[in-house]
Chain A
Amino acid sequence: MVPLTFHYSWSKLAERERLTVMNEFAVNGAKHLVLGDNLLKMMGQDYKLAAVLREQTAQAGVDFVDAHAPFRDFGDLFIPDERDHREMIARQKLNLLLVSEMGVDTCTFHVGSKYYPDHSLDEHREALFRSLDELLPLAEELAITICLENLVRPLSTADDLISYMKKYASPHLGVCLDVGHANLKEQGVLHPDSDVIPAWEIAGLQVCWEKNIPERLQPYIVNCHVHDNGGVGDDHDLPGTGTIDWKRTVPILLNAPRIKSIQSEVLCARRNTPIRTVAENIHALFGYTPEL
């Protein structure tokens, strides 16, 4: 069974409620949580939080499987500005160490979404390669796989990701298939109000719409983000409430040769979705019957 792991917006929660929410996941059959970008940021600020989280997860009977590195400002791997790139690398190296410290061996990174208008797209790509050149040796040392996520923006298309996989051909580099983003990129062409269009316009480009994204990325998928949308915006809804064809998607994930974990990235807080609803939905989708 591929481990199922659950994202939660821990940063929006008062510290005293964290263990209660972990317990909430546990009583609904969840065994694994995501060490998300906001938790990593919190650990960046609170030097002792790692020990607290280890204790709390142990008490709740869950653990962290899979991680998501901070992104955007000083988090995007493609930052072409020299000073900002240096700060980003220092932050992400620390994040890799913290991920390892928490016993996690996969970590999703964004190629990037915040473009530097004074730099060309090629300079962004070169900066991404410099980042991977810096981070991959550390990832290898820590036995962590860096997973690049398909986004809806230039430099993060399926074609782009495949080219990066072929360039590096490393067991410590893989793909995080975000099924919601893939849906936006496949169906957005049908929607003039698609959120994908402005994401490309910012870079001065017309959208490169794509097809068969999960199928093409399947050989490289190491982890994934599971959530749904209507093909227009990045809603992070419950599977089944959008337009994603789950009968097509689920087997691709379960049969991906390098898959290590499947992550729910349903945003409970955004639509006030109860934890039980999310856990039951994801368990049912992937044919898992938890012992409650």
Chain B
Amino acid sequence: MVPLTFHHSWNKIEARDRLTAMREFAVNGAKHLVLGDMLLKMIGGDYKLAAVLRDETRQAGLDFLDAHAPFRGFGDLFIPDERDWRQMIARQKLNLLLVHELGVDTCTFHVGSEFYYEYTLDRHREALYRSLDELLPLAEKLNVVICLENGLTPLNSAEALVAYMRKYDSPYLGICFDTGHANRKELGGRFPDGAVPESWKKFGLTIRWEKNIAETLRPYIVNCHVHDNYGERDDHNLPGCGNIDWKRILNVLRNAPRLRNIQSEVLTARRNIPIRTVVESVLRLFGELPGKE
């Protein structure tokens, strides 16, 4: 089966409770955890945490598989301001090293969502290219695939991501297919007020709703974020607690040639969902998907 890996809000629990939560995942059948953005931030500040996490995951019988780089302030790849861009690149290079250090070989990055409105959209795109020019050689050296995630802004549509894939045509660049974001981009037209990011309006653009996002991105999908919603908000619900057509998604993922892992991005803390419920739900949905496990 394709390895299934689980996100958890580790920054919201005390260090002393971390191993217990890891064991909770393990006894319910999880084998892999996501090295998420908040964990990477924590490792960024606590120089010894990587060794602690290695020890704790080993004790729990788990490992880290798949990572998510920090995003927004000093995390977005498209930062056009020179000073901020430079700090972001230094931070993301460190994050790639930490990802590699923890044995992970896929890492999701956001193109960006915190726009600098004093700069044009083209300047944001150029900054994204500069970022990829800087980060891809390091990713290659570390054997980590940088996965760009689809979203709702003008620079992370399916169309935009496919253009980036074609421009770089690199085995170290792929796509993180976010099922929840895709659903919003496909169904958001029904909720025009709530679902349109302000960036479209601020750049004087009209949002282009998309169709068949999963199918369009399929050749480039390396990892994915699995969660559900009703098309209006980014709920990060359990699969089935929304209106995503999971049979269709399963079929796309089954035929994604570069797929390495499937990540649950259900936010347990947001709706007080037990770990057991998440693990069982995701295993039920994807447990039979053929892959390397």
A residues lining the B interface (CB < 8 Å): 41-48, 70, 72-75, 83, 86-87, 90-91, 93-94, 97-98, 101
| A74: min CB distance to chain B, Å | 4
Set B74, B93, B97: member contacting A47, Cβ < 8 A: B74
**CB–CB B83/A47 < 8 A:** no
Q: Give 17 pairs: A residue, B residue, CB < 8 Å, sorted on A.
A: A41-B45, A43-B45, A44-B45, A45-B42, A45-B44, A46-B45, A47-B72, A47-B74, A47-B75, A48-B74, A73-B47, A86-B97, A90-B90, A90-B97, A91-B94, A93-B90, A94-B90
Inter-chain pairs besides A74-B47, A90-B97, A94-B87, 7 sampled, C-beta below 8 Å: A47-B72, A47-B74, A73-B47, A73-B48, A83-B101, A93-B90, A97-B87
Interface residues in B60-112 by Cβ distance below 8 A to A read 70, 72-75, 83, 86-87, 90-91, 93-94, 97-98, 101
| B98: min CB distance to chain A, Å | 7
Instruction: Give a binary string over B33-67; 1 marks a CB under 8 Å from any A CB, 0 the rest.
Output: 00000000110111110000000000000000000
Set B45, B73, B87: member contacting A42, Cβ < 8 A: B45
CA distance A74 to B74 in the complex (A): 22
Instruction: Give a binary string over B180-215; 1 marks a CB under 8 Å from any A CB, 0 the rest.
Output: 000000000000000000000000000000000000
Could you say which residues of chain B place their CB within 8 Å of the CB of A74?
47
Could you say which residues of chain A place their CB within 8 Å of the CB of B94?
87, 90-91, 94
Could you say which residues of chain B place their CB within 8 Å of the CB of A86?
97
CA distance A70 to B44 in the complex (A): 12
The majority secondary structure among interface residues of chain B is helix
Instruction: Give a binary string over B94-136; 1 marks a CB under 8 Å from any A CB, 0 the rest.
Output: 1001100100000000000000000000000000000000000
CA distance A97 to B84 in the complex (A): 10
Could you say which residues of chain B place their CB within 8 Å of the CB of A44?
41, 44-45
| B55: min CB distance to chain A, Å | 15
Set A45, A46, A75, A101: member contacting B87, Cβ < 8 A: A101
CA distance A41 to B43 in the complex (A): 10
Could you say which residues of chain A place their CB within 8 Å of the CB of B70?
47
Our count of residue pairs bridging A and B at CB distance below 8 angstroms stands at: 53
Could you say which residues of chain A place their CB within 8 Å of the CB of B87?
94, 97-98, 101
**CB–CB B83/A91 < 8 A:** no
CA distance A43 to B46 in the complex (A): 11
**CB–CB B73/A91 < 8 A:** no
| B13: min CB distance to chain A, Å | 16
With A47-B73, A70-B47, A73-B48: A94-B91 Cβ-Cβ less than 8 Å: yes
Question: In this complex, which of B72, B86, B93, B94 has the most chain A Cβ atoms within 10 angstroms of its Cβ?
Answer: B94
Could you say which residues of chain A place their CB within 8 Å of the CB of B47?
41, 70, 72-75, 91
Could you say which residues of chain A place their CB within 8 Å of the CB of B90?
90, 93-94, 97
**CB–CB B41/A46 < 8 A:** yes
Residue of B nearest to A40 (CB): B45
Could you say which residues of chain A place their CB within 8 Å of the CB of B45?
41-46
**CB–CB A90/B44 < 8 A:** no
| B87: min CB distance to chain A, Å | 5
CA distance A222 to B48 in the complex (A): 30
CA distance A218 to B70 in the complex (A): 44
With A41-B47, A75-B47, A97-B86: A47-B101 Cβ-Cβ less than 8 Å: no
Residue of A nearest to B41 (CB): A45
CA distance A74 to B101 in the complex (A): 13
CA distance A90 to B72 in the complex (A): 20
CA distance A46 to B101 in the complex (A): 21
Residue of A nearest to B86 (CB): A97
Could you say which residues of chain A place their CB within 8 Å of the CB of B73?
47-48
CA distance A41 to B45 in the complex (A): 4
Set A45, A75, A90, A93: member contacting B46, Cβ < 8 A: A45
Set A42, A75, A87, A98: member contacting B97, Cβ < 8 A: A87
**CB–CB B93/A90 < 8 A:** yes
| B135: min CB distance to chain A, Å | 12
Residue of A nearest to B45 (CB): A45
Could you say which residues of chain B place their CB within 8 Å of the CB of A75?
47
CA distance A42 to B72 in the complex (A): 18
Could you say which residues of chain A place their CB within 8 Å of the CB of B44?
44-45
CA distance A75 to B101 in the complex (A): 16
Could you say which residues of chain B place their CB within 8 Å of the CB of A97?
86-87, 90
CA distance A125 to B130 in the complex (A): 35
Which are the 3 A-B pairs with shortest beta-carbon distances?
A45-B45, A44-B44, A94-B90
Could you say which residues of chain B place their CB within 8 Å of the CB of A73?
47-48
CA distance A87 to B100 in the complex (A): 10
Residue of B nearest to A71 (CB): B47
CA distance A90 to B70 in the complex (A): 16
Could you say which residues of chain A place their CB within 8 Å of the CB of B75?
47
With A47-B75, A93-B90, A94-B91: A87-B101 Cβ-Cβ less than 8 Å: yes
Could you say which residues of chain A place their CB within 8 Å of the CB of B72?
47
CA distance A91 to B49 in the complex (A): 14
Residue of A nearest to B96 (CB): A90
Could you say which residues of chain B place their CB within 8 Å of the CB of A101?
83, 87
Could you say which residues of chain B place their CB within 8 Å of the CB of A94?
87, 90-91, 94
